[in-house]
Chain A
Amino acid sequence: MKISYKWINEWVDLSDIAGPAALAELLTARGLEVESIQRQDEGLEKVISAQIILKDKHPEADRLSLCKVNPGGGAEYLDIVCGAQNMKVGDVVALAQIGAKLPNGMKIEKGKIRGAVSMGMLCSESELGFAKESDGILILPPKTPVGWKLADVLGLDDTILEIKLTANRGDCLSHRGIAREVAAALRKPLKSPKVTEFRASGSPIRVELEAGADAPRFFGAHMTGVKVKPSPEWLKARLESIGQRSINNLVDASNYLMFEYGFPVHIYDADKLEGGVIRVCRSKAGEKLPLLDGGEVELTGEELVIADGAKTVGLAGVMGGGNSEVSDDTKNVFLECAEFHPTLVRRAAFRFGRRSEASLRFEKGIDPEGHREAIGRLIDLVAKLAEGECTGGSAAEIPMTAGKKTVVTSGAFLNGFLGTDVSVETMVSIFESLHCRVNRNDDELELTAPSYRLDLNLREDYAEELARTIGYDAIPTTIPALSGMPKSRKSDPRRHRAQVIDRVKDILASEGLHEVLTYAFQSETWLSRFGMRSTARILNPLSEEQGYLVPSLLPGMLKAFQENERHHFGSEPLSVRLFEVRPVFSARAEAIEAVGESETGVVEKMRVSLLLSGPRFDQALKSERGEVDFFDLKAVVESLLEQLRTKGIRTRVGDSKLLGESVRLFHPGQSLQFSAGKDPIGWIGRIHPKLESELKLSRPVFWGELDLEPVISLTPEKEVSFKAWSGFPTVERDYALLVDDGVAAENLVQSALKSGKPIAKVIKIFDTYKGSPVPEGKISIGIRVIFSDESKSLEEKQVDQCSELIVRKWSEEFGASLR
């Protein structure tokens, strides 16, 4: 909200304040944050009024004029080149002199334009910051003195403060409201104008309230003989200074009243009202209402409207109707100053996309006791500006059911709550400066807020009034004491979960991967490229690109890969190594709907995604750097699970049926499934060559994703417990096995572990070989079995027996033979 320093000064004496900056500081310290301070003449310091003496065409350019300009003060005439055509000899115009820096940032320097010297610039309204756009240069009124500063000519001597008002302080949405705060801070009186006493009689139009408590009061006044015309200069200047456009004297009067008193008011053409009555009621569903902005809305039956005896004439609190608006020929008017339910106004304004200065004020609540004075002020303004005469008023009011809210608190509470040591006397004087009624009984305080302070309802609200008046700086600084034992972190499943997630991030970073954060939403099209469909759609996305909550982290991960690929150039190989730990989302049912207070029907599961591409080493000679492949990625996952000490995660090779959703994602011969028990929990592998070519990836990508929830539950919370190792020697046996190509080596390992129990402790694949002399379709696999026993030295015979059993099982299960 824009506030004029001069206007505030009319309401409260600012002579004790060292200018606008000091006022801004005072307001900010009281919770009315001043965002900017703008002097009206900022950028106009070197702009003067000047008169055009000669105007010729530029010899080199038809669209330019060469002017001789009198800068006043007896100085020499200046040559100016000008691109506009709307001026003539004798006009007084705004001249930006050499060295000026205009409000739009333009710097004026001595220059040559197409060979002609220009000693300044003639300015347009937009260049002067008066308008966003403008045609031609600004022509000042004919009798404007020449050689004056433009700011003086236009009376631009005010300073405008932009205040960011919080949602609770509707009472400050006016100059009077701000002035009240200043007066309280300075302990000075408020200078209110003398206002005509409103009489609720003599109006030919009566007022009826038909919406009960939703529209509890309406003050109307009938005025005759008004003359609609442009507003006087002072009023135009004042409204323009706070960013409002002057329309005519009647509209300006109502706006002026709103920005001065905070009451949104409306002026009807009384001759367009039928039936001698104004009613406030609910709209009829389907009814159409033309609005004064030229549009038309179809009402729903919910919003409050104003109607006369025959028709609806306004959308209450939002906008007047086009069928009763003031025009140039208006003679008689009816003034409205009323109160409408904040929520109904808010909904109507949103529904029809017509939030306005008026609706904003109704939404935040209007002083229920101020209407009489406000409409009196409006009557005075219309009388003064439009020569209207008030024939009388009519008012209707539903008595307030609840009386004024009184809060009982104590000095002890307020000091304890704030941690302060303020005397009760000081408290009383502070609350009185805010126009609260105070009844003190020793330490006890009975407090009643002024009618306009709708936000003061609780003792905590008064604590804030006290705190902001003494200043937050005056509150001491203490550290709260721990009462009782801190909550135990042991055996808390959520704590364990958080710890595992932290560990996962640490381990993956130590494995040389960069943690990435991608958006939780992607487009439907992008997800479909990966064969995915989201079950959680955002109803109001910023764009289709961000329309769906992700069912997997992989699509976002691939975007991150492409981002790195996009800006990569040169001969250095691109290395991309990323991981992400974030939840994915799925809806339990077709439609997402809240159940009770805390159930959303959307499931969030924490996942980890991984991506590797490029050289194996960050730095090494070319011959040694290598390229990451499937086994680098597999190593990362194995290292992760090993360091977490996760138990019971199994792997399974590329059975495409089991790979399910991953079919499109991974090379079927270079992918591995992980499972917890029978449930698959994720996959890793090389990106499917088809996807690789569809996405035009420049190099192979190895990626994967694991559901972290089962990993978390299979990860022990228990500390590592030491295990002693066997002191007896181990026995090793190496085997060269001939099997069909396609037998998974891991299956041979698992078989040997099982059949070699309990002494075959470690099984290692150390070599594979294909080609002559190994027959076509076969592969030779080198396996080492390490036998040991914790309690004794193994006997040769025992190892032989076990070894035979292992080999027999290999033969039975996989058709393996020893080479």
Chain B
Amino acid sequence: MSVHLEIEEKGKSALVRIEQAGNLEELDACRVSALGKKGALSEALKQLGQVPPEERPKLGALANEWKARLEAAIEARKSLLEEKKIEEDLKKTRIDVTLPARKVHRGSLHPITATIRKISETLGRIGFDVTTGPEVETDFMNFEAVNIPKDHPARDMQDTFFLGPGVVLRSQTSPVQMRTMREQGWPVRILCPGAVYRCDSDATHSPMFHQIEGLWVDRKVSMADLKGVLDFFAKETFGSQVKVRLRPSYFPFVEPGAEVDVSCAICAGRNPHCPVCKGTGWLEILGAGMVHPRLFELAGYQPHEVSGFAFGMGVERIAMLLHDIPDLRLMFQGDQRFLGQF
């Protein structure tokens, strides 16, 4: 067989094997056997010495041509096989992406905490600072400092837990007002959130519940200022459409005193069977008034120099309205079906 034919022959058969290579390893073996130092083409070219010199360039060119063809075929086959391998790997590593995700637990803040924060944030915008005080209080701070002396009929309004002579579980957050007024001079602009206690337990009363009180004392503070602050608070909390209504009332620590209603954000007074406002169109949410001058005396202020307003609300009440919570008792049961919703 002439060298020429042998090159053609070997080239063709290598080409066939390349096309038949089933994987990258086989393909590499083809490359070695066809193009390697001891490969078919090299072996064929070794016989070049036996052909006449004038034919050698032609044969050389033919060998190079085959080399190039085979290399191209190997490259083409390689990329085809590579793609095939990726396809196979992808198939092997497929997962059912609709299976459940590995989800970590989601925690929550108690709605009371969240509500206190919301109120504090709202009123913080117009200058109030948050401050707190002890839950066990002296009778003096809980009552006398807020103008409820011993044997005052207003003590009927609150049934108080006693721990010892002159020591109570505070029945309101007001003692924080007096403690703060005594500690710092005026102006005073504070919010006092916290737990309070009364001997009362039924569907709508809990022996432990939460209040948040506000106090603003300065020169020339007026009842119009109180109305403005309450209006701002109500609109920020319940929506810009709600209206605020003040009704005259009595709390020993304020004069004048008021009970404060907001218009029902659910029915706006249009549903006589509204479950939220009971058809009245109004929701009582807090008590308020102008600070009684007696409190300024007890704080060591000159009652003629300052005036101020105070307001207080039940945090549970606000939280229940904001989140449609139907039963106060849910707040203290620790039931995650409840807690997990917030």
Physical interaction between A and B:
yes
Q: Report yes or no: A604 in contact with B134, Cβ–Cβ below 8 A.
A: yes
Q: Does A768 contact B (CB under 8 A)?
A: no
Measured between C-beta atoms, what is the minimum distance from A349 to chain B in Å? 11
B34-42, B75-83, B109-117, B264-272 - the one binding chain A: B109-117
Give Cα distance in the complex from A598 to B137, angstroms: 7
Report if B27 contacts A (CB, 8 A). no
Max count, chain B CB within 10 A of own CB: residue among A460, A476, A563: A460
* A418 in contact (CB, < 8 A): yes
Contact call B163/A537, Cβ cutoff below 8 A: yes
Segment with Cβ contacts to B, from A466-474, A637-645, A770-778: A466-474
| Residues 476-492 of A at the B interface (beta carbon under 8 Å) | 476-480, 482-484, 486-487, 489
Chain A residues closer than 8 Å to B18, beta-carbon distance: none
Query: With the chains together, A331 CA to B331 CA distance in Å?
Result: 63
**Segment 563-593 of A: residues with Cβ below 8 Å from B:** 563-564, 567, 575-579, 582-583, 585, 591-593
B158 to chain A, nearest CB (A): 11
Question: In the bound complex, how far is the Cα of B184 from the Cα of A39, in angstroms?
Answer: 54
B167 within 8 A of A: yes
Contact of A536 with B256 in the complex, beta carbons under 8 Å: no
| A559 lies within 8 A of chain B by Cβ | yes
Q: Kindly specify which of A104-112, A118-126, A618-626, A685-693 makes contact with the partner chain.
A: A618-626
Contacts of A505 in B (CB 8 A): 109, 113
The interface stretch among B4-12, B47-55, B66-74, B214-222 is B214-222
User: Is B161 a contact of A464 with CB atoms below 8 Å?
Assistant: no
Q: Does B57 contact A (CB under 8 A)?
A: no
Is A597 a contact of B140 with CB atoms below 8 Å? yes
Cα(A458)–Cα(B107), bound, Å: 53
Q: Indicate whether A541 reaches chain B with its CB closer than 8 angstroms.
A: yes
CB pair B138 A515 closer than 8 Å:
no
* Chain B CB within 8 A of A1 CB: no
Q: Is A602 an interface residue (CB 8 A)?
A: yes
The reply to whether the CB of A91 lies closer than 8 angstroms to some CB of chain B is no
Q: Specify the chain B residue showing the minimal Cβ separation from A468.
A: B248
B56 an interface residue at 8 Å Cβ cutoff? no
Whether a CB of chain B sits under 8 angstroms from the CB of A31 is yes
Known A-B contacts A483-B187, A514-B340, A617-B104; the reply to A418 vs B164 at CB < 8 A is: no
- Give the contacting residue for B250; candidates A31, A489, A577; CB below 8 A: A31
**C-alpha spacing A498/B120, complex, angstroms:** 12
Q: Is there a chain B Cβ closer than 8 Å to A113's Cβ?
A: no
0/1 string, B100-141, CB within 8 A of A gives 1: 111111111110110001000000001101111011111111
**Chain B 223-240 per-residue mask, 1 if CB under 8 angstroms from chain A, else 0:** 111011101100000000
Taking CB atoms, residues of chain A closer than 8 Å to B165 are 592-594
Contact of B197 with A by CB under 8 A: yes
Known contacts A467-B223, A472-B258, A559-B334, A602 near B163 by CB under 8 Å = yes
Q: Which of A164-172, A215-223, A384-392, A647-655 contacts B (4 or more CB under 8 A)?
A: A164-172
A601 at the binding interface (Cβ < 8 Å): yes
Hey, what's the 0/1 contact readout for A388-420 against B, CB within 8 Å counting as 1?
A: 000000000000000000000000000011111
**B182 to A, closest residue via Cβ:** A598
Q: Which of the 9-residue segments B85-93, B149-157, B320-328 touches chain A?
A: B149-157
User: Could you say which of A478, A510, A517, A624 contacts B228, with CB atoms under 8 Å apart?
Assistant: A478
Instruction: Say whether B105 contacts A460, CB under 8 Å.
Output: no
Complex Cα–Cα for A758 and B32 (A) = 57
Residue B179 CB within 8 A of the other chain: yes
A364 at the interface (CB under 8 A from B): yes
A364-B153, A464-B257, A483-B187 known; A512+B110 contact, CB < 8 A: no
Residues on B with beta carbons closer than 8 Å to the beta carbon of A808: none
Known: A458-B255, A514-B108, A619-B101. Contact between A418 and B224, CB under 8 A? yes
Are A476's CB and B107's CB within 8 A? no
**In the complex the two chains form, is A512's CB within 8 Å of B106's CB?**
yes
Say yes or no: A538 contacts B104, CB within 8 Å.
Answer: no
Alpha-carbon distance between A167 and B252 when the two chains are bound, in angstroms: 9
Considering only CB atoms, which chain A residue lies closest to B206 in the complex? A519
Q: Would you call B232 and A479 a contact (CB within 8 A)?
A: yes
B247 pairs with A33, CB closer than 8 A = yes
Interface assignment of A518: CB less than 8 Å from any CB of chain B: yes
Is B249 among interface residues, defined by CB-CB distance under 8 A? yes
Give bound CA distance, A468 to B109, whole Å.
41
Assess whether B223 is in contact with A483, with CB atoms less than 8 Å apart.
no
Query: Which among B106, B112, B130 is the interface contact of A618 at CB below 8 angstroms?
Result: B106
Q: Do B140 and A598 touch (CB < 8 A)?
A: yes
Q: Does B177 contact A (CB under 8 A)?
A: no
Query: When A418-B224, A476-B227 are in contact, do A517 and B132 touch as well, CB less than 8 Å?
Result: no
Say yes or no for A801: interface residue by CB 8 A criterion.
no
Choose one: A458, A477, A482, A598; the contact of B293 (CB below 8 Å): A458
Q: Is residue B207 contacting chain A, with contact meaning CB distance below 8 A?
A: yes
Cα distance A472–B259 when bound, in Å? Answer: 11
B246 within 8 A of A: yes
In the complex formed, the residue of B with least CB distance to A420 is: B224
Complex alpha-carbon distance, A29 and B257, angstroms: 13
Q: Which residue of A lies closest to B307 (CB)?
A: A417
Partner of A489, one of B129, B162, B167, B245: B129
Contact between chains at A460 and B221 (CB < 8 Å)? no
CB distance from A170 to the nearest CB of B (A): 8
* A343 lies within 8 A of chain B by Cβ: yes
| Residues 502 to 536 of chain A near chain B (Cβ within 8 Å) | 502, 505-506, 508-521, 536
A513–B332 Cα distance when bound, in Å, is 16
In the assembled complex, the Cα of A498 lies from the Cα of B138 at a distance in Å of 23
**Is A363 part of the binding interface, using a Cβ–Cβ cutoff of 8 Å?**
yes
A356 within 8 Å of B (CB atoms): no
The answer, among A28, A585, A618, for a CB contact under 8 Å with B247, is A28
A61 interface residue per 8 A CB criterion = no
Contact check: which of B200, B223, B229 meets A418 at CB < 8 Å?
A: B223
CA distance A33 to B334 in the complex (A): 37
How far, in angstroms, from A577 to B201 measured CA to CA in the complex?
A: 28
The answer to whether A510 and B107 have CB atoms under 8 Å apart is: yes
Q: Which of B100, B130, B336 is in CB contact (< 8 Å) with A498?
A: B130
What CA separation (Å) do A577 and B333 show in the bound complex?
Answer: 14
- Confirm or deny: B339 has a beta carbon within 8 angstroms of a beta carbon on chain A: yes
Q: How far is the CB of B190 from chain A (nearest CB, A)?
A: 9
Which residues on the B side are within 8 Å of A479 (C-beta)?
126, 225, 228-229, 232
Q: For the complex, what is the distance from the CA of A468 to the CA of B229, rounded to whole Å? A: 20
A50 interface residue per 8 A CB criterion: no
Q: Is the CB of A33 within 8 A of B224?
A: no
CB distance from B328 to the nearest CB of A (A): 12
Q: Is the CB of B208 within 8 A of A519?
A: yes
Q: Which single member of A33, A482, A539 contacts B259 (CB below 8 Å)?
A: A33
State whether A464 and B99 are in contact (beta carbons under 8 Å apart), knowing that A417-B223, A540-B199 are contacts in the complex.
Answer: no
**Contacts A31-B250, A577-B107 given: A546-B207 contact, CB under 8 Å?**
yes
Task: State whether A419 touches B138 (Cβ < 8 A).
Answer: no
- Cβ–Cβ contact A540 & B162, under 8 A: yes
* Residues of A contacting B136 in the complex (Cβ-Cβ under 8 angstroms): 536, 549, 585, 600, 602, 604
Known contacts A420-B224, A478-B228, then 9 further A-B pairs from the complex at CB < 8 Å, ordered by chain A residue: A419-B224, A463-B223, A463-B255, A486-B127, A514-B339, A517-B334, A539-B162, A542-B201, A618-B106
A selection of 8 A-B contacts at a CB cut-off of 8 Å is A29-B247, A464-B256, A473-B245, A513-B107, A539-B163, A592-B165, A602-B136, A620-B100
A residues contacting B by CB (< 8 A) are 28-31, 33, 166-169, 342-343, 346-347, 363-364, 416-420, 458, 460-461, 463-464, 467-468, 472-473, 475-480, 482-484, 486-487, 489, 494, 498, 502, 505-506, 508-521, 536-542, 546, 549, 557, 559-561, 563-564, 567, 575-579, 582-583, 585, 591-594, 596-602, 604, 617-621, 624
The 10 A-B residue pairs with the shortest CB-CB distance in the complex, in nearest-first order = A419-B224, A560-B334, A31-B248, A594-B166, A512-B105, A592-B164, A166-B250, A464-B256, A419-B222, A509-B107
> B residues near A, CB below 8 A?
99-110, 112-113, 117, 126-127, 129-132, 134-141, 145, 151-154, 156-157, 161-167, 169, 179, 184, 187, 189, 195, 197, 199-201, 207-208, 216, 218-225, 227-229, 231-232, 245-250, 252, 255-259, 290, 292-293, 307, 331-337, 339-340
